[in-house]
Each structure stands twice: as C-alpha cells, then as structure tokens.
Amino acid sequence: MTFIPSDSRLNGGDADRGRVDLAGAGPGDPDLLTLKAHRALGRADVVIHDRLISAEILALARPGAQVIEAGKTGFGPAMPQEEINALMVAHARAGAYVLRLKSGDPGVFGRLDEELEALEAAGIPWRVIPGITAASAAAAQIGQPLTRRGRNSDLRLLTGHDVQGFAEQDWRALARPGAVAAIYMGKRSARFTQGRLLMHGADPATPVTIVENASRPESVTRATTLSLLPQAVADATGPAVILFGLAPRAAAALPVIKEAVQ
C-alpha cells in the first residue's frame, strides 16, 4: 500500500506528480469546504468530480486544470465505477496530480474503498481528505444535534438502497423511542422504510425531517412524521437527507412544512 501521510504538506512542483487525493467537498456550500480540500483544488492538474459538486466549488479549481464530471445519479445514468478508477490511474500514471472530488465526506457512501483498492493495485500514491457529510449539514440547518444526552447514545447513517435494491436495516433498533438516523438516498425507498419501521413498532408520530440540498441557497426543509413520510418526500427533486427522529427546533409541533432556506 502506498499513501500520503495525513500530516504531509503539498509543496507544488514534482512533489505532487503522479498521485491522487480523494477529497470531500462537503454538502455544497463552498464556505464548508475544508482548507485542505481548497488547497488541493488550487493545485490539482486533473479534477474528477461527482455530479453533486456545486459550480461554486468547481470554480476554485486551478486555471488550466482538466475538470471531468464522473456523474452518478440514483436509479439513473452513471459513469461506471471501473471507468472512474481507470481515469484516476491513467492520469496519475501520466504524471498528473489528480483530485478525486466527492460530495460530502468520501468515506460516507462514497465508494472510497473501491477507489483506494484500484489505486493500490496500480501502485499510485494517495491521500484521503475528509469533508463535512450531508447529515451534519442538515442537522445544523434545522438547529438540532445528531446526539443528545438522555435521548440517543448512538447515531445511524443509513443508505436507502444498495446494490441489492432497497436496503434492509436493524429495524427493531431503529424503531425504539429516541432513535436517530440520517438516511441518505432514501427518497425512492421512503414507503419501504416507513413500512419496515411501523412493522417493528415505531411510533407513527415519530418526527422526521427531509432536508433537500442541505447548506445550499436553494435548500428546502420539510418537517413531518413517520406516518406521512412518503407524501412529504414526494415533492423533493434534489438530493435529500431524511433525518429520522428529529424535527426542526422551531417547528417540533407543526404539521408538514415547506420552507425555503435563505
């Protein structure tokens, strides 16, 4: 295995050649980009980015850098993972400093392991730069902590679907009072998730908040309950995080709301 130590510094010139950084771009707001990722954007020769990376963040790339979209859409068109792996390896082998830029944090539902394995197999030096994941941004946006003394001593980050279809979870644990979970890619599986939770004893009145485009100017927050989850998520068109067990601080007792965040 060849990797770049976490305390290494980019010095420009030959030190950056023939290597790959895999960085998190955060949830979309360029102000939530880490300084380390910002510096990498300003130095990279090639930027291979996910579809969800905002234009404001891509604008920070070094002038003259080659910017390649490696788009992935849930249940829609996507660049095959093998092709993304091959792009990183080919550009790094040609001597480029490659930045693989992922939405949120690269280690949270970002196929980081598959890309690292491809780089290791090719003998390409790499480094991981963490980012702010969408669950953190969404919870901050509604003014709620993801953990709270006396309420939940654990937090679950879930995916709504995996390679097998709608993802099965530990529904009994999730159905317990006080449980909190952030569900990524959960719009299409909302009715499935609701059914499984109710089947395992979850209270239909459990608060649920859908945060669409967390941290971005066009963000929309929908507060609802488990009993109304499928209807509440139906209008969401952008990427959304479903915060199970959390209501917006100012709307804990309100019915479904739709509020554009300024």
Query: What does the domain layout of the chain look like in residue ranges?
Result: 13-129, 134-260
In 3D, which of 185, 188, 196, 167 has the Cα closest to residue 234? Answer: 188
Which two structure tokens, joined as six digits, stand for 140?
């901050």
Q: What is the pLDDT of residues 96-132, one digit of tens each?
A: 999 999 999 999 999 999 999 999 999 999 999 999 9
The pLDDT of residue 17: 81
Comparing 259 with 17, the larger pLDDT belongs to 17
Superfamily of 134-260 according to CATH: Tetrapyrrole methylase, C-terminal domain (3.30.950.10)
The pLDDT of residue 6: 45
- pTM reported for the whole predicted model: 0.86
Q: With contact defined as beta carbons under 8 Å apart, do 134 and 184 qualify?
A: yes
> pLDDT-based confidence at 78, cuts 50/70/90?
confident
CATH architecture type of domain 13-129: 3-Layer(aba) Sandwich (3.40)
How far is the C-alpha of 129 from the C-alpha of 142, rounded, in Å? 26
The pLDDT of residue 66: 98
In 3D, which of 81, 95, 224, 241 has the Cα closest to residue 160? Answer: 241
Residues ≥6 apart with Cβ < 8 Å to 15: none
Beta-carbon neighbour count of residue 58 at 10 Å? 17
How far is the C-alpha of 208 from the C-alpha of 189, rounded, in Å? 15
The pLDDT of residue 14: 55
Q: With contact defined as beta carbons under 8 Å apart, do 177 and 151 qualify?
A: no
How far is the C-alpha of 260 from the C-alpha of 112, rounded, in Å? 32
Beta-carbon neighbour count of residue 97 at 10 Å? 25
Give me the active site residues, please: 50, 72
Strand order in the sheet with 257-260: 156-159, 181-184, 240-244, 207-212, 220-225, 257-260
How far is the C-alpha of 178 from the C-alpha of 174, rounded, in Å? 9
Task: Give percent of the chain above pLDDT 70.
Answer: 87
Chain centroid to CA 239: how far? 9
Q: What is the pLDDT of residues 168-184, one digit of tens each?
A: 999 999 999 999 999 99
The pLDDT of residue 2: 47
Average confidence (pLDDT) over 40-66: 97
Q: What is the pLDDT of residues 199-244, one digit of tens each?
A: 999 999 999 999 999 999 999 999 999 999 999 999 899 999 999 9
Beta-carbon neighbour count of residue 1 at 10 Å? 9
The pLDDT of residue 166: 84
Chain mean pLDDT for the chain: 89
Phi, psi of 197 (to 5 degrees): -65, -45
